[in-house]
């Protein structure tokens, strides 16, 4: 379900999302223009491993469970994001992601995602750092 809020309160909300800290007012306004806000109930499937992925999701409120293809489960919460892998390499969803609680999410489409990375290079750096961390964690889980 989409929900409405004024442009200025959306910008204020975005400034509190850690992923967007350090961005300029203009960059945050750009994100407000490109990102849609959604609420979903607990239990909603947000991504299915193997499917084609069209969006990046940023968690504003609530928690998701990521279930990897090796059946490892990872919880992600406010300020974290998922769905970036399919957008970056065009491959299928690498894991299944379910809402573990009722959630507020920001959703950014494929074209808008690339537009945003061009407009806000610090954001690209943060996404690359998170990807690198996820790879290290996955490697550590395999070798544990």
Binding region for ligand CMP (CB under 6 A): 47, 53, 66, 68, 74, 82-86, 93-95, 97, 134, 137-138
Of 5, 9, 110, whose CA–CA distance to 55 is shortest? 110
CB of 109 to ligand CMP, least distance (A): 13
- State which residue, 10 or 62, has the beta carbon closest to ligand CMP: 62
We find the least distance from the C-beta atom of residue 29 to ligand CMP, in angstroms, to be: 25
Of 82, 77, 106, 109, the closest CA to residue 94 belongs to: 82
CB nearer to ligand CMP: pick between 84 and 112: 84
103-128 burial, b for 16+ CB within 10 Å, e for fewer? bbbbbbeeebbeebbebbeebeebbe
Residue 11 or 74: the one with the smaller Cβ distance to ligand CMP is 74
Q: How far is the CB of 89 from ligand CMP (least distance, A)?
A: 9
Q: Closer CB to ligand CMP, residue 27 or residue 86?
A: 86
Structure tokens at 14: 């975005």
State how far the Cα of 60 lies from the Cα of 37, in Å rounded to an integer: 9
Task: Report yes or no: 116 and 30 within 8 Å, Cβ to Cβ.
Answer: yes
- CB of 19 vs ligand CMP, minimal distance in Å: 13
């Amino acid at each position: 379900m989409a929900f409405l809020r004024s442009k200025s309160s959306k910008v204020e909300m975005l400034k509190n999302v850690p992923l967007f800290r350090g961005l300029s007012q203009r960059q945050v306004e750009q994100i407000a223009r490109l990102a849609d806000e959604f609420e979903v109930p607990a239990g909603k499937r947000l991504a299915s491993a193997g499917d084609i992925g069209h969006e990046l999701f940023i968690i504003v409120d609530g928690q998701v469970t990521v279930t990897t293809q090796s059946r490892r489960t990872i919880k992600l919460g406010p300020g974290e994001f998922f769905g970036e892998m399919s957008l970056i390499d065009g491959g299928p969803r690498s894991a299944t992601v379910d809402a573990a609680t009722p959630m507020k999410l920001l959703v950014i489409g494929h074209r808008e995602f690339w537009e945003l990375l061009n407009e806000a290079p610090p954001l690209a750096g943060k996404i690359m750092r998170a990807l690198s961390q996820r790879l290290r964690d996955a490697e550590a889980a395999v070798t544990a």
